[in-house]
Amino acid sequence: MIGRLNHVALAVPDLAAASERYRDALGAKVSQPQALPEHGVTVVFVELDNTKIELLEPLGEDSPIAAFLAKNPKGGMHHVCYETSDLRAARDRLTATGARVLGDGEPKIGAHGKPVIFLHPSDLFGTLTELEEV
C-alpha cells in the first residue's frame, strides 16, 4: 500500500534562514519558496539523493504550522510523507482499520501538484503522516 518515503517535513520559524542553512552550510540544493494558501504554508524542498526534506513556514496566523511553532518555537519534525499508487484505496483501507483522515477525508492537491491526505498522528504512533498519490 505505501511505497517509498517521499519526504520528511520540518516546521521552521524562518524559511529564508532555514533554506540558507541547508544551502550554504550543508551544500544542499534548495527549491524556490512556494506558497500553498490552501494548506496555510510556504514550503521549500531540499533535494537529497534518496528523498527530500520539506521546510514549512506558516502562511498567516491561522496556519496549522503557526500552532505547531507556538509549541515548538525552534521548529521540529512536523510529518512524514509516503507515496502510494492508489490514494483512495489506501484511505479506505486505513479508515476501515480505524485510522482517521484529517479534514473532510477527501484528497487535496499538495505541494507536488498531486493528491494528498493526512492521517491523525494518534493513529500512527504520534506521527502526522501524509500519503501522496504517485
Go through the domains of the chain in sequence order and give each one's CATH number.
Answer: 5-133 (3.10.180.10)
Tell me the CB-side half-sphere exposure of residue 125, using CA atoms within 13 A. Answer: 1
pLDDT for res 24: 97
Q: What does the pLDDT look like over 107-129, one tens digit per residue?
A: 999 999 999 999 999 999 999 99
Does 130 participate in catalysis according to the annotation? yes
Q: How confident is the model over 43-65, as pLDDT tens digits?
A: 999 999 999 999 999 999 899 99
Q: Contact at 8 Å (CB) between 35 and 59? A: yes
Query: What CA–CA distance (Å, rounded) separates 48 from 133?
Result: 20
| Catalytic site residue from 57, 130, 132, 133 | 130
CA dihedral (43, 87, 102, 109) positive or negative = positive
At 53 the pLDDT is 98
pLDDT band at residue 1 under the 50/70/90 scheme: confident
